Amino acid sequence: MDKNPQAEKIYGVLGYPAKHSLSPLMHNAAFAALKINAEYKIFEKKPEELESFIRSLDKVGISGLNVTVPYKEKVIPFLNKISEEAKIIGAVNTIKVSGDYLEGFNTDAVGFLRHISEDLGFIPQGKTISLIGAGGAAKAISVALAKAGAKIISVCDIDKTKLDTLTASLKERFNKTEVRPACDIAGLNIGEADLLINATPIGMKETDACLVAGDLLHKGLLVYDLIYNPKETRLLRVAKESGCRISNGLGMLLYQGMVSFELWTGVSAPKEAMLKALS
Ligand code: NAP
């Protein structure tokens, strides 16, 4: 049912499933705060509906989309242009619709970078980073960190093919960052790291094991878990007890949404209203 049948512009999130997304809350709060007559909806589409949906965006009056699992890579062939960063990452999470011209962007990378630098004061230049996971989010984050001048990025993943693909692509593109594939958590050398990131879904369920034992963590380490529901994963709890600084992924969600909003509307995103909607 339409919440705002008079909305002049329609935006939304495309995924499958997508109904648990927090993006509608955040973007509709932004439209309300700026008195923009627009509505942000959920578009849950089955794989067989993807192509016809993307090709009909202009005709059905959709001005912009966020794209989530499992379509961040699959939408690319239907776009007219993708940003340089989205090309390097190999995934699009934002589409801007201008008539029948579709342009793809990746705001996850810049969203993560803005959160750690602007809110957490962590500047990646010269830093040593341990990354758990080599999937979609890890790709965006590792590109952002390498572009920002990280000294060493160690990565592990239980899927060896994904690990090899990501580390080979980083090595090829960023020769100033030392990229180290690791067989397991112990191989990440967390003891040397300034930043430890969980970019796996492990921790979303209360029954999930803690990915890293407390004795591998040290004071001064920033532990960043991309998960934001629950707000504090077991990893973050253990990290806090070990004296580390911690952050969940809510800030990344906020900033990637702000950047998408600005790409679509051309106006500054209302950070406070969007954050309040997420809290
Ligand atoms: P993904 O593409 O499925 O990647 C996750 C990777 O982690 C997969 O390669 C997976 O391997 C691997 N993995 C699973 N368990 C592991 C373990 N114990 N040790 C090492 N690697 C393991 O997922 P994604 O899209 O990157 O998302 C990852 C997490 O980030 C999710 O929780 C997602 O909600 C979150 N996220 C947050 C934001 C934000 O704005 N805060 C944005 C994007 C994603 P298998 O495929 O073999 O299981």
d(CA 78, CA 74): 8
Instruction: Using the structure block, give the residue that is written with the tokens 């499958």.
Output: 16
158 C-alpha vs ligand 1 centroid, how far in Å? 11
Residue-level pLDDT at 3:
58
Q: Is the CB of 200 under 6 A from ligand 1?
A: yes
Minimum-distance ligand 1 atom for the alpha carbon of 201: 32
Could you please report the per-residue DSSP string of 203-246? Answer: TSSTTPPPSS-GGG--TT-EEEES--SSSS-HHHHHHHHTT-EE
pTM of the predicted structure, to 2 decimals: 0.94
8 C-alpha vs ligand 1 centroid, how far in Å? 36
Residue-level pLDDT at 5:
63
Minimum-distance ligand 1 atom for the alpha carbon of 249: 41
Residue-level pLDDT at 59:
94
For residues 168-195, give the mean pLDDT.
97
The three-point CA angle 191-197-198 to 5° equals 120
Cis before 70? omega within 30:
yes
d(CA 91, CA 76): 7
Among 154, 159, 200, say which to mutate for ligand 1: greatest number of ligand atoms within 8 Å of CB.
200
Decide: 95 and 119 in contact? Cβ < 8 Å.
Answer: no
Decide: 174 and 148 in contact? Cβ < 8 Å.
Answer: no
d(CA 104, CA 40): 18
**Residue located nearest, by CA, to atom 2 of ligand 1:** 135
List pLDDT tens digits, range 23-54.
999 999 999 999 999 999 999 999 999 999 99
Residue-level pLDDT at 7:
79
- Which helix (DSSP H) or strand (DSSP E) does residue 61 occupy? none
Catalytic residue list? 72
Q: Is the CB of 162 under 6 A from ligand 1?
A: yes
Region of 246 please: left (phi>0), alpha (psi -120 to 50) or beta. beta
* Chain mean pLDDT for the chain: 96
Residue 1 has pLDDT above 50, yes or no: no
Percent of the chain's residues with pLDDT above 70: 98
Among 66, 115, 158, 252, say which to mutate for ligand 1: greatest number of ligand atoms within 8 Å of CB.
158
Amino acid code (one letter) for 14: L
List pLDDT tens digits, range 114-146.
999 999 999 999 999 999 999 989 999 999 999
**Residue located nearest, by CA, to atom 27 of ligand 1:** 137
List pLDDT tens digits, range 3-23.
566 778 999 999 999 998 999
The three-point CA angle 95-101-103 to 5° equals 30
Q: Is the CB of 188 under 6 A from ligand 1?
A: no
Q: Is the CB of 164 under 6 A from ligand 1?
A: no
List pLDDT tens digits, range 225-270.
999 999 999 999 999 999 999 999 999 999 999 999 999 999 999 9
